[in-house]
Structure 1
Amino acid sequence: MSLTQMGPVYSGRASAVRAGEVVLSLVASGLVGMRGWSGVRRLQHPYDRNLQLGLDRLAALCVRAGVGAPVGVQDLVAVWCAERPVDAWPVELDPDAQVGGERLLIGGEPSEFCLEWAVAARDVVSEVHESTLVKHVKDTACALGRPELYARWRKFVTEHAVLERGEFVAAKNAVLDVPQWATWVEESYGLVPAEAAVGGRVAVCGGCGQWIAPRADGRVRCRVWRCARRHDLPEPAWVEASGARRLEPELVRFVALPGRPELDLAQRLAARGARVVLYPKLDALDLVAVWPGGFSVGVDVKDWHSPYLLARRIKTFPVWGADDPHAYRRGFLVVPRDRLDANPRYLDILARNSAALKAQPHLKVVCDDELVGLCPDLRPAGEVVCGP
């Protein structure tokens, strides 16, 4: 293999870090693309193109470092990704990336670390774009002048991982004045495949609320980070698989799982008397909460394992006039408490690497518990809504 075919030559530490991030993002994206939510236990061709691209660039870095390179894609996946932590790879990465001990595959499945670096590939190599379905829902809701439809669809798929036959029909007919709604629901869910069922039933996690792909040995245990570390995880619920539909894997990863802490926070603020609007203006923010008396907050919830990667994804908070139905007085970026407990350096790394936070010093970064404590506690309880 000619080194001239393996990508650009990098010089200087910044370029070396960039090269390392490209490799990591390509390989992570390739792993996710191979098998989706059901994992990569059984290696098979064709491999995702990103894996080959990542292998080529990694091989070049191995040659420069004078170490042996992976012998093909299978060696990259089965050995380098499954057994070797990333800090043992001959790549240079920023210390704030916190790659020590991190592996891309755990138990044959993409790790949370892997999933976030796959998302990062959108910025690093510009090969992954926003889900076509999500974009279609947004564009159609905007064209119809019904932005609340996007919020309603997003809330529904976050709360419903599996639909029985009758529930699926009812969901499609839930918004009869918008014919596109039935198509959105149809495209959001697929039939439960045989490999996702155990004894004719599909499991739904009692923690995160998403369907669980059984392990190779038949055991059913949720692999989501927050669930995997719990000792008190509730037993899964079971739904008859015949005729049932499950949320598509991409929507599980990029809509439903991030949506859980958003909806949980919305309910906690509503319990304190707020009227909480979800995803105002087609997701300009995750929520705006307004209390009687005028106290109001605009919130983005960020449930990321890596503060280094999250720092790149923080956007500029919108500024709306006082007469706007979604106007708020204070802006907050919220990180779930357990993320901060697991990583004491989280907020420091986030502040150091986020250009958006530096440009918006009025924004306050807090954990969910802290935000709730800063807000009024009025009665009666408020409500969570999907529109103005």
Structure 2
Amino acid sequence: MSLTQFGPVYSGRASAVRAGEVVLSLVASGLVGMRGWAGVRRLQQPYDRSLQLGLDRLAALCVRAGRDAPVGVQDLVGVWCAQRPVDSWPLEFDPDAQVSGERLLIGGEPSEFCLEWAVTARDVVSEVHESVLVKHVKDTAALLGRPELYARWRLFVTDHAVLGPDEFLAAKNAVLDVPQWATWLEESYGAVTAEAAAGGRVAVCGGCGQWIAPQADGRVRCKVWRCVQRHDLPEPARVEAQGARRLEPELVRFVALPGRPEVDLARRLAARGARVVLYPKLDALDLVAVWPGGHSVGVDVKDWHSPYLLARRIKMFPRWGADDPHAYRKGYLVVPQDRVRANRRYVKILVQRSEALKAQPWVEVVSDDDLVASCPDLGTAGAGEVVCGP
């Protein structure tokens, strides 16, 4: 089905659902694409093309349903996306898509729901920088025969959102036998811009650990979903902006934030006595852990709002021979506990909808809390460890 022109007139429930998903994905993609739009007027196309295509298709479906359609892109964004939940739109969705009450914009920013329905990241600068840098780190680590370097880089940027000048220099010199390491750090961190600081300082969220850009009124409030939900969120730390470096925004979004639940899980398992290897074989899995008694598990952590969409993106777990240093006996796809708590059907939808999971009955879907509880607790501080290599 072409995304550049109106599709056919759909008949039947499945076709209506497909039509609804296409409209939702187009509009969501367009909203995400507008995040990097600084108001520079493009003469013939001032809005993201996906947004206009989504508007066209939505308008056509509104006419067929005898409903009023959005009057232009401004109405679509400002009213339909910001004020109306998606289930009030004249579209059909699979019940497992769980669109009830979901809005595409919250506080003027794309919601988690919106970000996951966006088909492609239209912020070209961010997409290219993040993907090229990650690929370069992976390829270089593989070429050097040092795959642990990739894991070590990912762990470092996940843990360090802002670095003072002395910290940054020390970080660059941390791996002197690999000159490329300093280059990776230079490309991962940029100078603190005026927009990222307030009162000469950079705020670092006490929840997700990432830097927070101040709002127009100077207030600092983290917009990450998990932080917004917390009532006990610690006050942000403040770091002197003069000479400091902050993690590039695209790495915050695509590496550090997704990496936080992975690293947190690894440390919780290590606290019970497990030996945990992060990102083995250049991220073939998120981690491989060996319990104190010798039982080994391979783990992939998936922190998604929508199990319906996540089910389509689950891949096959790698299998390695018994003599491989990363060999494991049992596979787990792990979902953070707060996702499962907020959505009781999360695991059921995931298992029923994922073809990859059906093909891998030896892979079990569990919450992070359940996986941690299954690891025997030695009750001895320092008994376990988190490492970046075999």
Question: Fold match, TM over 0.5?
Answer: yes
Give, in whole Å, the separation in 1 of the partners of 2:243 and 2:34. Answer: 26
2:124 counterpart residue number: none
The answer on 1:294 being equivalent to 2:286 is: no
- Once the two structures are overlaid, the 10-residue window that deviates more, 299-308 or 216-225, is 216-225
Structure 2: which amino acid aligns with 1:61?
Answer: L
Letter in 2 for 1:367: S
Q: Which moved more, 1:360-369 or 1:10-19?
A: 10-19
Q: Which residue of 2 aligns with 1:309?
A: 309
% identical equivalent positions = 81
Query: Given the superposition, is the C-alpha separation of residues 132 and 239 from structure 1 closer, same or farther in structure 2, using an over 3 Å criterion?
Result: same
Aligned to 1:187: 187
1:384 counterpart = 2:383: no
Question: Match for 1:385: what amino acid?
Answer: V
Q: Give a deviation string over 1:273-319, Cα, whole Å, max 9, x none.
A: 11110000111111001134421111111111111111112111111
Separation of aligned partners in 1, 2:247 and 2:51: 26
Q: Which runs of 5+ in 2 are unaligned?
A: 122-126
Distance 1:201 1:330 in 2: 46
Distance 2:141 2:361 in 1: 33
2-side partners of 1:247 and 1:166: how far apart?
Answer: 16
Contact 1:105 1:111 in 2 (8 A): yes
What residue is the counterpart of 1:225 in the other structure? 225
Deviation sequence 1:20-56 (CA, Å, 0-9, x none): 22222222222223225xxx8x866443333233333
Cα deviation 1:134-167 (Å, max 9, x = unaligned): 2222222222222111111111111111122222
- For residues 295-353 of structure 1, give each alpha carbon's deviation from its aligned partner in whole angstroms, at most 9, with x where no partner exists: 11111111111111111121111111100000011111111111111111111111121
Q: Where does residue 320 of structure 1 map in the other structure?
A: 320
The CA distance in 1 between the partners of 2:173 and 2:49, in whole Å, is 39
Aligned to 2:341: 341
1:280 equivalent in structure 2: 280
Q: Matched residue of 1:8: which SS?
A: coil
Q: Is the 8 A contact 2:4 2:53 kept in 1?
A: no
Could you tell me how far apart the structure 1 residues matched to 2:97 and 2:81 are? Answer: 17
Residue of structure 1 equivalent to 2:201: 201
Counterpart CA distance in 1 for 2:9 and 2:321 is 47
Name stretches of at least 5 consecutive residues in structure 1 with no aligned partner: 123-127
Report the CA distance between 1:222 and its aligned residue.
1.2
Which letter maps to 2:337? R
Give the count of matched residue pairs: 376
Matched residue of 2:64: which SS?
A: helix
User: Higher mean Cα deviation, 223-232 or 18-27?
Assistant: 18-27
CA contact (8 A) 1:302 1:335 kept: yes
| Distance in 2 between residues matched to 1:69 and 1:174, nearest whole Å | 58
Q: Superposition pairs for residues 56-205 of structure 1, below 5 Å? A: 56-118=56-118, 120-121=119-120, 131-205=131-205
Secondary structure of residue in 2 paired with 1:158: helix
Kindly report which structure 2 residues correspond to 1:345-356, keeping only aligned pairs within 5 A, or say none.
Answer: 345-356=345-356
Contact 2:274 2:375 in 1 (8 A): no
Q: Deviations over 1:67-112 (max 9, x none)?
A: 3333333332222211121112222221111111111111111111
* CA shift in 2, pair 1:21/1:331, >3 Å: same
SS in structure 1 of the partner of residue 76 of structure 2: helix
SS at match of 1:222: coil
Return the alpha-carbon distance in structure 1 between the equivalents of residues 51 and 248 of structure 2.
Answer: 23
Counterpart Cα distance in 2 of 1:306 and 1:325: 34
Q: For 2:108 and 2:224, locate their aligned partners in 1 and report how far apart those are by CA, in whole Å.
A: 14
Q: What's the secondary structure of 2:27's corresponding residue?
A: helix
Q: Say what the alpha-carbon RMSD is for the aligned residues.
A: 2.3
Query: 1:274, 1:382 within 8 Å by CA — same for their partners in 2?
Result: yes
Q: SS in structure 1 opposite 2:83?
A: coil
TM-score, normalised to structure 2's length? 0.89
Q: Write the letter of the residue equivalent to 1:33.
A: G
Instruction: Say if 2:276 and 2:290, in contact at 8 Å, map to a contact too.
Output: yes
Aligned-partner Cα distance in 1 for 2:169–2:74: 42
**Do 1:10 and 1:16's aligned partners in 2 also have CA atoms closer than 8 Å?**
no
Q: Secondary structure at the match of 1:369?
A: helix
Q: Does the CA-based 8 Å contact 1:296-1:329 persist in structure 2?
A: yes
Instruction: Note closer, same or farther for the CA distance 1:383–1:77 as it changes in structure 2 (3 Å cut).
Output: same
Q: Residue 8 of structure 1 corresponds to which residue in structure 2? A: 7
What is the CA–CA distance in structure 2 between the aligned matches of 1:101 and 1:312, rounded to whole Å? 22
CA distance in 1, matches of 2:18, 2:180: 42
Aligned pair in 2 of structure 1 residues 266, 57: CA closer, same or farther (>3 Å)? same
Higher mean C-alpha displacement, 161-170 vs 347-356: 161-170
- CA distance in 2 between counterparts of 1:348 and 1:317 reads 20
Task: Kindly report which structure 2 residues correspond to 1:239-250, keeping only aligned pairs within 5 A, or say none.
Answer: 239-250=239-250
Structure 1 residue 189, shift from structure 2 partner: 2.0
Moved more, 70-79 or 234-243: 70-79
Amino acid at match of 1:13: R
1:125 alignment partner in structure 2? none
For residues 329 and 291 of structure 1, what CA distance do their matches in structure 2 show?
A: 11
